[in-house]
Amino acid sequence: MHDVFHEGERIVQQLTGEGWIAEQNSKMIEQPVFK
């Protein structure tokens, strides 16, 4: 039971990390790279 909860927590952390990376990428795309 504890192992299942830990596995689910790890998946949530992975998804959160991917979401954060996608958010950072979208911010970089919105900002003009070349002036």
- Confidence class of residue 35 from pLDDT cuts 50, 70 and 90? low
| Residue-wise pLDDT tens digits, 2-26 | 688 788 888 888 888 887 778 887 8
Q: What is the pLDDT of residue 17?
A: 80
Task: Write down the pTM of the prediction.
Answer: 0.39
Give a three-class secondary structure readout of 13-35.
HHHHHHHHHHHHHHHHHHCCCCC
Specify the amino acid at residue 13. Answer: Q
The CA-based angle 30-31-33, given to 5 degrees, is 120
d(CA 35, CA 33): 7
